[in-house]
Structure formats: structure tokens, C-alpha cells
Amino acid sequence: MGSENRDGHSANEHASIQGKKNHDSLKQRLIIRIKRVRQVSFDIVNHHTVQMTILFLIVINSIFMGIATFDFITENEFNSETFEAIDTLFLSIFTFELILQFVAVGFRLFLDGWLFLDFFVVMISWIGDIGGVKFQIMRSFRIFRSLRLITRVKMMKELVTALLTSLPSMSAIIVFMLIIVYIFAVMLTDLYKNIGEEEGHDIDPDLLLHFRTLGASFFTLFQITTLDGWATITREFMKYHVFAWVILVSFVVISGIVVMNLIIAVICDSLQRVENDKKGNECEEKSTAEKSMSGDSQSLTHGLTSQLDAVCSDLEDIKQDHESILYTIELIVKGMQYHKEIPKKKNQGKRRKTHRSISIDPT
């Protein structure tokens, strides 16, 4: 009875171990298949032909969205529905490509800025299409699909990278610019908020609102920063105050020339740094490849040397075996010769004994 229990227990253990092995084997096969699918998806979405096709479709889709704003499309129901169907087809293709990207990289898609931009633009497009009237305003955001060109064109990516890299440096310039604007806004508001109330000044009524309040002064100074109509504003206020040009021209020089040139210089510096980093990465990859090649050649040389040493050792062993075989053959030959000589000696001994007996016999 005890032996039967032990046999049953061992059988259960064997079945459990076998089931665990089968489960592990099935799990490994599943992991291998998933990795294979992800690798195939990665190869497809990163293939040069696929990338160029998606780039071409983005350009065509952007052109179609521009054409769809014309009256002969919006006022004709058939043309409008046709363009809507074409746009949905483009969006489906982009969605399929995004799904392949997700299969290839997994949740890292949300950690990569460029891939997340693709995801955001595609999702916004679907919300605009499905949401109906409630999300009608989102449909206008479909044109943001054109931003996907940035993720496909290398030069555009480098430009955007340079702009993002320059943000910390530009922040100091922006703070400096805000301080300058605030100083001039307060000063001009104090000087010209009551302009026009005094008699004898022929000033355009629209100009009376430029520096009436602090907010209006901020907006006017922003307009002057863009160099839009600053000369007209200056001339009109010179009618009231002849030295008004000193303040306004000083602001134009500081904001429109000095600060803007500083911003341009920072952006150019960032572009140069991105280019230097790119060249540095290329040089590093080249040196790494050269080191890898030299390491491979050294390992190959070492491997050949080891193989030659092994061949020489084998030849030495073969030589010793050959000498041993020759020595053995020599011993065998000598033994055979010895065995052949023994009967001859016996016959010679018998003949000598016979001859002696004959010579001894008196008869």
C-alpha cells in the first residue's frame, strides 16, 4: 500500500514537472513569436520605401485639405462627400501606420516626442471626424497632420531640435524683453494717457487709444516690436510732444534690433551645436566601427594563430604516432623473423645429432 502511494505521488510529481515544462515551452514560443512580429513591424515602418510613401501621402493629404476649402467643393454635396471619403482613407492609412509603430516599439511610442506627435495628430483627426457637431471645431485641426512632415524630413527635425535646445538661452532674453516692455509701457501710459483732452492738438482719434491704459500700451509696444506702423505712430505723437520720437525710436532700437538679433544669434548658435553634435556622433560611430573592425581583425588573427598552433600540435602527435607505429612494425617483423629461425635451428640440431650417431656406430 505504501509503495502504491509512493508510486502515485511520484507520478503526480512527474506530471506536474512535465506540465510546467510544457507551459514554459509554450511561453517561450509565444515570446519568440511576439518578438518576430515586432521585428517585422519595425522593419516595415522604418523601410525607406514605406517612409517615402508616407511622406508623399502626407503632402498629398495636405494639398487635398487646402483644396477642400474652396467653394466649388463646399457648395457641392457630391464633391464634399468625395473629399471627405478621400480624407478618411488617408486617415485610415496613417492610423494603420501608427498601429504598426505601436506594435514595433510598444509603450515607448509615448516616450518618443516625434512618435507621440504623430499619435496626437491622428487622434485629434479621429475626434474631429467622429465627434460630429460637438467637436466640429476639432475638424479644423486636421491640417495639423501636415506637422508629420517634420518627423519625416531630417532637416526639419534638426531645425525643431535646435529651437527646443535654444529655449533655455532664449528665456533670459524673453525676461529681459518683458522688463523693457514693462518699463516703456508704464512710462508711455503716464505721458500720453490724457492726450487729446487738451485743445489745440490735431491728433488722429484712433491714436488716442494707443497709450490710454497699461494694457493698450502693452499691445501698442508689441505692434511696434514687429515694426508695423511704428513710424506713423511716432509722427502723430510728435505733434503733441516733439521729443516723442526719442522714446519710441529708443524702444524700436532695443526691441526690434538688439533683442531680435540676440534671439537670432541664439538660434544660430543652437543650430551650430546641433550640427556639431551630429558630426561628433558620426565621428564617434566611425571610431567605434574602426575599433570594432580592429578588434575583429585582432580576434581573427588570434583565432588563426590558435588554429595554427593546434594544427602544429596535431602534426606533432601524428609524427609521434607514426614513429610508434614504425617501431611496432619493426618489432613485429623481428618477431616473425625470430619465429622463422627457430624451426631452422631445430632441424639443424636434429641433423647434427643424426650425424653424430652415425659416426659413433662401429658397424
- Which of 168-177, 272-281, 326-335, 337-346 comes out lowest in average pLDDT? 337-346
pLDDT at 182 over 90: yes
**Per-residue pLDDT for 312 more than 60?**
yes
What is the average pLDDT score of the chain? 76
Angstrom distances, CA of residue 119 to CA of 91, 94, 114, 203: 12, 10, 9, 54
Mean pLDDT of 75-95: 88
Which of the two residues, 48 and 21, has the higher pLDDT score? 48
Is 302 or 147 the better-scoring residue by pLDDT? 147
CA 227 centroid distance within chain: 41
| pLDDT of the residue at 184 | 92
Q: Check whether 93 has a pLDDT greater than 70.
A: yes
CA–CA separation, 65 and 210 (whole Å) = 39
| Per-residue pLDDT, 363 | 43
Work out the average pLDDT over 301-313.
Answer: 70
Ranges 89-103, 253-267, 282-296, most confident: 89-103
The closest alpha carbon to 277, from 169, 154, 158, belongs to 158
**Would you say residue 1 has pLDDT above 60?**
no
CATH topology agreement for domains 46-152 and 165-294: no
Domain 46-152: what homologous superfamily?
A: Voltage-gated potassium channels. Chain C (1.20.120.350)
Domain ranges for the chain, please list them. 46-152, 165-294
pLDDT greater than 80 at residue 330:
no
Mean pLDDT of 134-157: 70
Say if residue 316's pLDDT is above 80: no
* CATH assignment of 165-294, among 3.30.70.100, 3.40.1010.20, 3.30.390.30, 1.10.287.70: 1.10.287.70
| pLDDT top residue among 234 and 279 | 234
Say whether pTM exceeds 0.75.
Answer: no
The pLDDT score that the predictor gives to residue 159 is 79
Whether the per-residue pLDDT at 201 is higher than 60: the answer is no
Residue 186 binned pLDDT confidence (cut-offs 50, 70, 90): very high
Burial 38-71 (b: 16+ CB within 10 A, else e): beebeeebeeeeeeeebeebbeebbeebeebeee
Q: Of all residues in the chain, what percent carry a pLDDT higher than 70?
A: 69
> Given this model, what pLDDT does residue 291 score?
62
pLDDT of residue 183: 92
Which residues lie below 8 Å from residue 37, measured CB to CB, with a gap of 6+? 103
pLDDT at 19 > cutoff 90: no
Question: Of 191, 188, 196, 195, nearest to 215 (Cα)?
Answer: 188
Closest CA relative to residue 119, chosen from 130, 110, 128: 110
